[in-house]
Amino acid sequence: MTIHELLSQSPVVPLVQADDPEVAVRVARALAAGGLRVAEVVFRTDRALECLTAVASEVPEMIAGAGTVLNREQAQAALDNGAQFIVSPGLDDGVVGVAQDQGVPVFPGVMTPTEAQRATNLGLDTVKFFPASIAGGVPALKALASVFRHLRFMPTGGVSPANLADFLRVPAVIACGGSWLTPASAIAAGDYDAITTLAAQAVELARDAERTT
């Protein structure tokens, strides 16, 4: 099953941020237990690459990708260490090129019509809308989708249980990304059951949004 097919079933992508591979694995397993099958291991810690490797190799029920990928070198390192997709905060030709050359899905961040148009001309059909809340939220997303009719969007940044359904009801949205599913306080306390509960709640919110679309 492709990542796009998985996202159509469970359109929420949690962010996994850890500096300890064992913690990253436990977080990923907790998310999977809650019904989420795709996770973005973000490159925001010194040992993020080790965390990605661990999740990719030890949590087979989870499709692991790399997030916060800023350059060509990071993209290549991520792919060499098990990433099955790449996510960037912005639109970088080098990152996109590495992923496209190896046939791996890449979701670069866009915020403006200019960036969306450039993504289109790079041959992309799915992009990250980031930071979603600051960039204008649902109204801005609808405006972009009306012009770039073939593009699918993954809003991230400011997405929460309060607005998840609003974003998912936009037909052009393939999934939403978010860090609310992996709160630092729960991870620090070793409360992985709380992460499973948040994941299950997100799955149910996504189903409710689908039913009311």
Q: pLDDT tens, 2-15?
A: 888 888 888 999 99
Smallest CA-to-CA distance from 98 within 126, 131, 70, 138 is with: 70
Contact predicate 81/53, CB 8 Å = yes
- What order do you get walking across the sheet with 106-107 strand by strand? 106-107, 86-87, 63-67, 38-42, 12-16, 176-178
Q: Which residues are catalytic?
A: 40, 128
pLDDT at 213: 64
Cα–Cα dist 16/25, whole Å: 9
Smallest CA-to-CA distance from 105 within 84, 89, 123 is with: 84
pLDDT at 1: 74
Q: pLDDT tens, 33-47?
A: 999 999 999 999 999
| CATH code at 3-201 | 3.20.20.70
Q: pLDDT tens, 140-199?
A: 999 999 999 999 999 999 999 999 999 999 999 999 999 999 999 999 999 999 999 999
Whole-number average pLDDT of the chain: 96
Name the residue ranges covered by the structural domains of the chain: 3-201
Contact predicate 99/86, CB 8 Å = yes
Cα–Cα dist 43/70, whole Å: 9
pLDDT at 9: 85
